[in-house]
A and B are shown apart, each in its own frame.
Chain A
Amino acid sequence: MDLLATIVVDGLIYAGWLFIVSLGLTLVFGVLNILNIAHGSLYAIGAYASASLVGAYFAVGGDAFPYGSYAALILAAVLVAVVLGPLLERGLLRYFYGRDEVLNVLVTYAVFLILEDVMKLIWGVNPYFVYEPYTLLGDVEIGPLFYVGYDFAVIAAAIVVGLAVWLTLNRTQIGKVVLAVIHDAEMSQTMGVNVQRIYLGAFTAGAFLAALGGALTAPMISVTPGLGANVIIVAFAVVIIGGLGSVPGAAIGALMVGISRAASVHLLPEAELFIVYFVMAIVLMFRPEGLFAKTKARKI
């Protein structure tokens, strides 16, 4: 029983931040039809930026009000999104709309390579630690198990972010416009929608979610080079499992990946590194386009 509880809680914690990152990925794919490998770099940059910003916060006397470091985390994600989102979308990706899907993956792969080195140039190769925000919220006791409160804050953040995105898409005017663009960009344009602006907004929002995922995980891990390469591939698995472009799909995918990974860590540690891909392969065998994908008519 304890083991089951441990697996579920560990899985939820992992699923929490992973959901935030995957949501950004699936949003960008849904709107721009680009599977963004550089999403992993944005995640890593978010983690680095928050590490620097939180460090700076405590260096200028943040000890008096340590909770302010949470604001620093979120501010870091906002900064990354506001700077890099428009830069990548306006400066590069917009020239590739409507091109071959796989070619676009290659374009973002190039961006990923570039950003990997840019990160090393800015932050060096030594690991960064930001433990302060992690310890602030104390411990939570579940039965005989102790968890760090921050982990649950991340789960809560994931739920809030997920609901916010879902509500924005389905209950606001701007959300309806985005859905219209997803459905048919050309038709939306003829109806007077500024599609370019929707693209820019969606990409920046996606970048924010990636950076937010990075910023929220930074206190839980050591921030090192190569972080992005691992995260992006797991996030890919999540969105592929859930169906590309689907918000509930990203949630279910993140849960499946999180729980199966936690189960493997506790029951079969040898499988930890590949259980994610194993689950993805199984799902794709039975649902070739993911769990929540919309069926498309084949063009003759």
Chain B
Amino acid sequence: MRYILFLYAAIAFVVLAAGSIILPDWAMFLFAMALAKGLVCLGIVAMMRGGVVSFGQGLYYCIGAYTATLAANLWGVSDIFALTLFSSVVCLIVGMIFGPMLATYRGIFFAMLTLALSMVLYGTLSKMSVIGGSDGLNIGSPTFLGWAPEGRDLQTALYIYVVAIVVITGTLMRIYFDSEQGLITLATRDNELRVEYLGASVRKVMAYNYTFAAVLGGLGGTIAVVALGHVDPEFAFWTTSGEFVFVAILAGYMSVPAVFVAAIILEVVRSFSNLYFPNTWQLSLGIFLLIVIVTLPNGLGSLLSRRKGGKT
């Protein structure tokens, strides 16, 4: 069955990459940002499958973005592959430290602890004037293995790079979700104690999910900062993390593509309400979120996925 998955992945890559030909600059930027954020949200979905939701995924989004920026500014690394690799490794390490610690917490306590961690980072960064304090830092344009594109070429290259990362990680996460570990995660969501009695370690599964989510968050942060050219502590503020949860809920926990569709929907809704209701875009966003929760309690994924959504 796996070759079907790879086939889907290849089709997804071709379709999305084709966007670089037809999309105008602004839309390509919007899609790149949406997909970058989608990566972070995919991490939340990975945890959501086990029944826990992180309200502090901005932590890794922010760590990834700052790591890339600092590497670029301090050591002059501009190659996007190196930056991505470097910040994912940093996030992996941080995730491996906190993952096992957080693995025993559930529900609101997990949400609040992750939130606390991200707010600690927010507070620290805001006060550290060495690295820009609350103003943040700028990062220059990236290079691609020595190629330094400009203008539309840069946009296109970055966009295709994001699409590639999204397709690869999306495929890997799908394989992970369908693996033994991934299925234990789903079982944990239904009944943790039974899973323990059956001999599987819920703690281990949770720690793994958290660590993967950390890496995904770092990837998203790196791409976002390269696309934006700027990072500030707001990346770790709880309202940023709130948006990621928003996307994850919108997507539901059943489907990987739904996460990216949801992320794009959110960016589009945000841009358009910014444009047409500049003073009330949060209001539009809030109403949109309520409509989603009421009409699609299992998320968009319940529409895309053939599997029947059980009760939540």
Interfacial residues, chain A to chain B (CB-CB below 8 A): 35, 92, 95, 99-103, 105-107, 109-114, 116-118, 120-121, 229, 233, 236-237, 240, 244, 269-278, 280-281, 284-285, 288-289, 298-300
Q: Are A278 and B120 in contact (CB under 8 A)?
A: yes
With a cutoff of 8 Å between Cβ atoms, the chain A residues found around residue B116 in the complex are 237, 277-278, 280-281, 284
Known contacts A273-B122, A274-B123, A288-B104: A102-B287 contact under CB 8 Å? no
Q: Which of A101, A106, A274, A280 contacts B107 (CB 8 A)?
A: A101
With a cutoff of 8 Å between Cβ atoms, the chain A residues found around residue B289 in the complex are 106, 109-110, 113
Whole-angstrom distance between the Cβ of B120 and the nearest chain A Cβ:
4
Known contacts A114-B283, A121-B280, A240-B112: A277-B105 contact under CB 8 Å? no
Q: 13 A-B Cβ contacts within 8 A? A: A106-B245, A106-B289, A110-B286, A110-B293, A113-B282, A113-B283, A117-B283, A233-B115, A236-B115, A273-B122, A273-B124, A278-B120, A288-B109
Q: Are A106 and B117 in contact (CB under 8 A)?
A: no
Q: Apart from A101-B108, A277-B120, what are 6 other A-B pairs with CB-CB below 8 Å? A: A102-B107, A105-B55, A113-B285, A270-B128, A271-B127, A280-B112
Is B297 an interface residue, CB under 8 A from the partner? yes
Q: How many Å lie between the Cα of A121 and that of B280 in the bound state?
A: 8
Q: Are A233 and B280 in contact (CB under 8 A)?
A: no
Q: Are B279 and A120 in contact (CB under 8 A)?
A: yes
Is B312 an interface residue, CB under 8 A from the partner? yes
Q: How many Å lie between the Cα of A240 and that of B119 in the bound state?
A: 15
Q: Which applies to chain A's interface (DSSP): helix, strand, loop or mixed?
A: helix
Known contacts A277-B119, A281-B117, A288-B104: A236-B282 contact under CB 8 Å? no
Is B61 an interface residue, CB under 8 A from the partner? no
Q: How many Å lie between the Cα of A102 and that of B106 in the bound state?
A: 11
Q: How many Å lie between the Cα of A35 and that of B55 in the bound state?
A: 13
Q: Which of A109, A236, A240 contacts B246 (CB 8 A)?
A: A109
| Chain B window 98-140, contacts with chain A (Cβ cutoff 8 Å), 1 for yes, 0 for no | 0001001101110111011101111110111000000000000
Q: Which applies to chain B's interface (DSSP): helix, strand, loop or mixed?
A: helix
With a cutoff of 8 Å between Cβ atoms, the chain A residues found around residue B105 in the complex are 284, 288
Q: Which of A99, A113, A281, A299 contacts B120 (CB 8 A)?
A: A281
Whole-angstrom distance between the Cβ of B232 and the nearest chain A Cβ:
14
Q: Are A117 and B279 in contact (CB under 8 A)?
A: yes
Q: Which of B127, B249, B286, B294 contacts A270 (CB 8 A)?
A: B127
With a cutoff of 8 Å between Cβ atoms, the chain B residues found around residue A280 in the complex are 112-113, 116
Closest residue of chain A to B242, judged by CB?
A109
Is B93 an interface residue, CB under 8 A from the partner? no
Closest residue of chain A to B107, judged by CB?
A101
Closest residue of chain A to B245, judged by CB?
A106
Known contacts A120-B279, A121-B279: A284-B113 contact under CB 8 Å? yes
Q: How many Å lie between the Cα of A280 and that of B119 in the bound state?
A: 11
With a cutoff of 8 Å between Cβ atoms, the chain A residues found around residue B280 in the complex are 117, 120-121
Whole-angstrom distance between the Cβ of A196 and the nearest chain B Cβ:
20
Closest residue of chain B to A96, judged by CB?
B293
Whole-angstrom distance between the Cβ of A201 and the nearest chain B Cβ:
23
With a cutoff of 8 Å between Cβ atoms, the chain B residues found around residue A113 in the complex are 282-283, 285-286, 289
Q: Are B107 and A273 in contact (CB under 8 A)?
A: no
Query: Which interface residue of A120, A244, A277, A281 has the most chain B CB atoms within 10 A?
Result: A277
With a cutoff of 8 Å between Cβ atoms, the chain A residues found around residue B111 in the complex are 102, 105
Q: Are B113 and A102 in contact (CB under 8 A)?
A: no
Q: Are A107 and B108 in contact (CB under 8 A)?
A: no
Known contacts A277-B119, A277-B120: A300-B194 contact under CB 8 Å? yes
Q: Which 10 A-B pairs have the closest CB atoms?
A: A274-B123, A273-B123, A113-B286, A114-B286, A117-B283, A277-B116, A110-B289, A274-B120, A110-B286, A113-B282
